[in-house]
Structure 1
């Protein structure tokens, strides 16, 4: 029976169909769902000539707004922040104007654009895990892919102006491309190599905080140097790595002063000052006026009353110019215990992928502002039971690297590319898991921590599924070619 089923429905196609149904109901069946605005939407909206319409609810954070206005005149705001997300918003605007309106924008058009790219990513991702098998265990892996990567905490982002959908979708594409290359799934390597570099460039340029990821993905790229019959083309891989590094530098330098000020201010108020004792003496030792300790937990854009306005001359002249990344690193070097507490705080939120600060329902749903529970089993479980200690994260990463080092050694000895390419992929993902929380704490404190470390749980999820798939297919250490067959056809 499985033989006949597999003739028509492959594991990759099964996962794609299930993900399409599960996420399609969430995004497009009334009442639709998404994420409400926590204040970040304006960057993407104004850059793309979209504005918020008046509506009955006073708080934008409680309910999902589906309809927006489209500027009918010159947009004097220009580009608020450079982001590859603009490409997808412009595609959505194009179809919106053809099939809906030239004056109003429906968020579902953006959700549909992400949805199409997402389903392609799920197909390739599942294939990269199970190729070349169509056994029962391969279909089990396909169901695991659906459980993890069709989780609503991820797909809710599609009906929003958050930048995370681009990061999510193209991380899946990049991972799939590397694994398909490792397994020699296609006769020609160029399509997957191109897909990898294009996907990662789009990911890095999506948000300014992704700039350091260029280093991690350059490490991943090293694995492609070991592909067979590829010596003459290694220059192209090196060029691609150079482009990735250049993309990271460009993304970092494209950060505008306003966003840099936001990060510096909140890294101080939500990081340096988050001390259980009296932080005033500690910051004074590092050359900062102790009066700034009064700013503890203050936001750059306060929702209510604030101790002192950010545009105050004292803040602009004495705080922001003096508390850059160098000063912050120096402070934590002198206060390692406090930094350890903050890293444990970040670890507690590592697997919480659902944005807790905003609502998921539209006003017409007649639901109170709350969090959706539809198909969130995996994210709820991981958020509740994943150990919230950074030391555990380090031990886990050491274990994963050590485990895949065996496959690296075996395949280097046998001159096989699979284990080598896979090792560099896992190593690169481990650097993301390790450094992203550190970058988030140093760069922005504990403000919006769950969103700032989004790449960490995504990287862990990919490695978890990869590990389970390798164990089930007996390819964790032994990647030697095996004949493809069905269990029922033995």
Structure 2
């Protein structure tokens, strides 16, 4: 006997059948919208660059040894120090027993490294750490940051123009000169997406595009991780903490206001603590370069400059030299050199000197800007030694933007001043309008860009006073990144303006006018006795 279907079951199945096409359409629209599609393209690029042979990464200059040890990892020692800089090392050792080393350092990088190490162990359990697991962890957060960035520039734009803007973003921030850092222990791997999230969270809050609680949480968390990444980033927390507290005026919600006040206060406290507790990472090498490749190199009278630091003027013979080429190593490490030279050089003294000599500061800014536009250090290779490439070989795959930037953009601070003027001129009216109308959200686009600008200029200045023109690896990376972020936002706005102007044009009327003009010309030719 055939059983009749239950009436209640029929009623349940009908809504499911009706909703299935709607769900499919919704998923299709989501995955084909510009922001999502841009992230999917970047995901494919990362997979090819970072995880498929030949695997791309960054050579190791030894500066991250303390971070590596702090996560119970160690160098297998298969490469000499010179080879380690020229080639990317994919495999590292995992300590099997208690780590009694006193050289380990715990920073905001450590949780990411520990997560990658645990994933590696769970998947392989071979006693080796594959750098690609760390790259995968960082890549997830990088893709989230890129989604935020794409959402900011496609806000209020028509689809066809949004795809153009997002495509430019893929070319700029998917450049292998940037993404290769993800496969490395350098702090650039984290600062890449942390700085991006800091600015985009503010801009998105102004656009009211995502949840305020999500965005304010992203702002404070990324700010905290950035400050705990390195002692030289720590003081940025004071600026970000004050900014975070001021965000309480954006919303009248009492819980949101409490989060801003507590989060901003906590960020400033952590910033100060990190500055005094974390090792400063400044060595005699940095102090030497801040003088010989900075103060003395730009001074008209190096002997007089040394007197201002209470250093013997005879050391002027070191002007322009690097740490490794100046004096024999035993002399550099001697007690005499320590007491007569290194003990009298510190970042505070160098900063005061530059403020008193703005001409030298401007010359150093010119040099640093020029260096920062090349985000691929020439001494660090991208390939593994087993892949057969020459020492120090760097990939040319998907590097259009980094090539154009390093070779064709004006590498001087005068250009940066003009560039800053354009930024302020374009966006300050939104800030002014928001203040007049007492609508704080309208100010956040300008505030987000100014946050990036402040971070970039701060790191540019810190690089000068700590390492002269010798540090193209650390602080200048962040300056270069913030330059690209702000330029991309401005470029997106310019493309939107072009689209807006084109929409005002009556193309049908222009087409008809063009056809009529051709007809009139043909009639005139026929009247003169000429035929086509």
The two structures share one fold, judged by TM-score above 0.5: yes
Q: How many residues align?
A: 474
8 Å CA contact 2:169–2:488 kept in 1: the answer is yes
**Matches of 2:462 and 2:329 in 1, distance apart?**
27
Q: Which residue of structure 2 lines up, in the alignment, with residue 397 of structure 1?
A: 420
Displacement after TM superposition at 1:132 (Å): 4.9
**1:229-378 alignment, distance < 5 Å:** 229-230=252-253, 233-256=256-279, 259=282, 261-275=284-298, 279-296=302-319, 302=324, 306=328, 308-369=330-391, 370-378=393-401
Mapping of residues 34-433 of structure 1, within 5 Å: 34-55=57-78, 59-78=83-102, 80-101=104-125, 103-133=127-157, 135-186=159-210, 188-218=211-241, 220-221=243-244, 224-230=247-253, 233-256=256-279, 259=282, 261-275=284-298, 279-296=302-319, 302=324, 306=328, 308-369=330-391, 370-433=393-456
How far apart are residue 353 of structure 1 and its match? 1.6
1:222–1:424 CA contact under 8 A, matched in 2 = no
Q: Superposition pairs for residues 427-442 of structure 1, below 5 Å? A: 427-442=450-465
Relative distance call for 1:262 and 1:83 in structure 2 (3 A) is farther
- Aligned counterpart for 1:471 among listed residues 491, 494, 502: 494
Gaps of 5+ in 1: 478-490
Deviations 1:294-330 (A, max 9, x none): 4445656x48973654431123223232212232234
Structure 1 residues 257 and 435 mapped into 2: Cα distance closer, same or farther (>3 Å)?
closer
Post-superposition offset of 1:367: 1.5
SS at match of 2:92: strand
Q: CA deviation at 1:165?
A: 0.9
CA distance in 2, matches of 1:418, 1:428: 15
Q: Over the residues paired in the alignment, what is the CA RMSD in angstroms?
A: 2.9
- CA separation of 1:209 and 1:257: change in aligned 2, threshold 3 A: closer
1:488 alignment counterpart: none
Q: Measure, in 2, the Cα distance between the counterparts of 1:420 and 1:277.
A: 44
Larger Cα-atom Rg: 2
Report SS of the residue matched to 2:54. Answer: coil
- Partner SS for 2:83: coil
SS at match of 1:259: coil
Cα distance in 2 between the residues matched to 1:428 and 1:357: 31
Task: For residue 470 of structure 1, report the CA deviation from its aligned partner.
Answer: 2.7
The answer to whether the 8 A contact 2:299-2:305 is kept is: no
Distance in 2 between residues matched to 1:305 and 1:372, nearest whole Å: 35
Normalising by the residue count of structure 1, what TM-score does the alignment of the two structures yield?
Answer: 0.88
Question: What is the rounded CA distance, in whole Å, between the counterparts of 1:439 and 1:389 in structure 2?
Answer: 17
User: 2:284 and 2:425 mapped to 1: Cα distance?
Assistant: 40
Partner of 1:486: none
Higher relative contact order (CA 8 A, sep 6+): 1
Which region of structure 1 is more displaced relative to structure 2, 317-326 or 339-348? 317-326
TM-score (norm 2): 0.81
Deviations along 1:372-405, one digit per CA (max 9) or x if unpaired, are 1111111111122222221221232233123211
Q: Is contact 1:177-1:193 (8 Å) kept?
A: yes
CA contact (8 A) 1:48 1:86 kept: yes
- CA–CA distance in structure 2, aligned partners of residues 380 and 273 of structure 1: 32
Higher helix share: 2
Q: Secondary structure at the match of 2:474?
A: helix
Mind listing any 5+ residue stretches in structure 2 that lack a counterpart?
Answer: 1-24, 501-532
Alpha-carbon separation, structure 2, partners of 1:304 and 1:316: 15
Q: Which sits farther off after the overlay, 291-300 or 424-433?
A: 291-300
Partners of 1:52 and 1:196 lie apart in 2 by: 35
